[in-house]
Structure 1
């Protein structure tokens, strides 16, 4: 996501001819977009995206369980 943001900023600077970016070649300005595509391809291929989604789901589930236990007066379960 950071690469996409950097690419948008560089694209705007190049388009409106602001600062030193106005003199850069277009391939320098567009390279963050190519890197973002490469990162997304790698993340999907390696399973990184799915792993992060599962971790988020598990942490939300555990937070709900802890909240329910606390509301029942049982306190959070101790993990070993």
Structure 2
């Protein structure tokens, strides 16, 4: 996501001819977009995206159970 934001900023700076970015080559300005594609491909291939999704799901489940216990008047367990 950071590469994508950086790419958009550099693209705007190049298009509007602001600062030293106006003199840079288009390949340098467009490189963050290629890095974004590589990052997304790696994240999908390695299972990183799915793992993060499962962690969010597990946390939502824990929060939902804690909220239900709180509504029934049961506090968290003590060990």
Using structure 2 for the length normalisation, give the TM-score.
0.95
Q: How many residue pairs align between the two structures?
A: 79
CA distance in 1, matches of 2:2, 2:21: 18
RMSD of aligned Cα (Å): 1.2
Q: For residues 24-78 of structure 1, what are the alpha-carbon distances to aligned partners after superposition, in whole Å with 9 as ceiling and x for unaligned?
A: 0001000000000000000000000000000001101110100110111111245
Using structure 1 for the length normalisation, give the TM-score.
0.93
Please identify runs of 4+ aligned residues in structure 1 that moved more than 3 A.
none
Asked whether 1:59 is paired with 2:39, we answer no
